[in-house]
């Protein structure tokens, strides 16, 4: 069974940094691209960042480009999101998601909450 | 960036009836289109990929159609558990989501 468990969320002030982690199990991690998707309270889904299986291709939403860095450690079956220069508008539940073979997002974690408050 | 637009924002339908949700892409995404269901307090769940292929364990009451820029998700004979928020998402490039359609009980 595929499991994705996010961690690292919390309360942080604007301008500070936070690192999210996603521990993956139940599948061959280095076979799949991975993504971070966020959802602000009461709002819709926003794709944040994605990374291919070998880190050869990385993408970011314009809203986080230059501030967030995605990475993965295939030896540890883990995905990361380094978030810096955090803003109030970055407040959201951050989901880790695994690519489906089609390219859709086939499996999702339960999310980790990031709250940026001034 | 490919912008996805869903309509309507809210759809009120009675149990047992059919619901039709729409999604439009700002440029062609071919059939690289997925639909997700999200219930309160839960992560999204993949329903449809490739515009029309049901994901594992998704009942046949859910069907998707369309290609290019216009897509539809149809839920026939609505059950109580089907009332939720639905999102479309393109994946021909890095993903982008529609703003969601809330399907509520009439």
Q: What's the average model confidence in pLDDT over B52-72?
A: 98
Q: Which of B45, B85, B97 sits opposite A47 (nearest CB)?
A: B97
Nearest CA distance, B20 vs chain A (angstrom): 19
3-state secondary structure chain B: CCCEEEECCEEEECCCCCEEEEEEECCCCCCCEEEEEECCCCCCEEEEECCCEECCCCCCCEEEEEECCEEEEEECCCCHHHCCEEEEEECCCCCEECCCEEEEEC
User: Please, what is the average pLDDT of chain B?
Assistant: 97
Is there a contact between A59 and B94 if contact means CB atoms under 8 Å apart? yes
For B80-96, write each residue's pLDDT tens digit.
999 999 999 999 999 99
Question: Are B54 and A102 contacting, i.e. CB atoms less than 8 angstroms apart?
Answer: no
For A11-26, write each residue's pLDDT tens digit.
999 999 999 999 999 9
For A40-86, write each residue's pLDDT tens digit.
999 999 999 999 999 999 999 999 999 999 999 999 999 999 999 99
Amino acid B44: pLDDT: 98
For A24-51, write each residue's pLDDT tens digit.
999 999 999 999 999 999 999 999 999 9
Sort out which chain B residues have CB atoms less than 8 A from A108's CB and list them. Answer: 43-45
Is there a contact between B89 and A108 if contact means CB atoms under 8 Å apart? no
Spatial CA neighbour of B88 closest among B96, B76, B78, B80: B96
Amino acid B86: pLDDT: 98
Q: HSE of B18 in the Cβ direction (CA atoms, 13 Å)? A: 8
Q: Is A88 exposed, middle or buried (0-12, 13-18, 19+ CB in 10 A)?
A: exposed
Sort out which chain B residues have CB atoms less than 8 A from A34's CB and list them. Answer: none
Spatial CA neighbour of B103 closest among B29, B25, B33, B47: B47
Nearest CA distance, B32 vs chain A (angstrom): 8
Q: Is A103 on the interface with B (CB under 8 A)?
A: yes
Spatial CA neighbour of A86 closest among A59, A70, A64, A61: A64
For B38-60, write each residue's pLDDT tens digit.
999 999 999 999 999 999 999 99
Amino acid A88: pLDDT: 98
Q: What's the average model confidence in pLDDT over B4-31?
A: 98
Amino acid A57: pLDDT: 98
Is there a contact between A47 and B95 if contact means CB atoms under 8 Å apart? yes
Spatial CA neighbour of A95 closest among A5, A24, A30: A5
């Amino acid at each position: 069974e595929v499991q994705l468990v996010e961690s690292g969320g919390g309360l942080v002030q604007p301008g500070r940094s936070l690192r999210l982690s996603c521990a993956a199990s139940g599948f061959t991690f280095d076979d799949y691209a991975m993504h971070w998707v966020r959802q602000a309270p009461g709002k819709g889904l926003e794709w944040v960042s994605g990374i291919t299986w070998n880190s050869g291709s990385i993408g970011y939403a314009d809203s986080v480009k230059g501030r967030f860095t995605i990475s993965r450690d295939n030896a540890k079956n883990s995905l990361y999101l380094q978030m810096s220069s955090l803003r109030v508008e970055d407040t959201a539940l951050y989901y880790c998601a695994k690519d489906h073979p089609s390219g859709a997002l086939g499996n999702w974690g339960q999310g980790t909450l990031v709250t940026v408050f001034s | 960036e490919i912008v996805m637009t869903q309509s309507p924002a809210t759809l009120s339908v009675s149990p047992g009836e059919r619901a039709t949700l729409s999604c439009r892409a700002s440029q062609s995404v071919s059939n690289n289109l997925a639909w997700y269901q999200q219930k309160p307090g839960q992560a999204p769940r993949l329903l449809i990929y490739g515009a029309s292929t049901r994901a594992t364990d998704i009942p046949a009451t859910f069907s998707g159609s369309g290609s290019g820029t216009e897509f539809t998700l149809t839920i026939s004979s609505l059950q109580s558990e089907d009332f939720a928020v639905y999102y479309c998402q393109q994946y021909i490039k890095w993903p982008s989501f529609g703003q969601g359609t809330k399907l509520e009980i009439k």
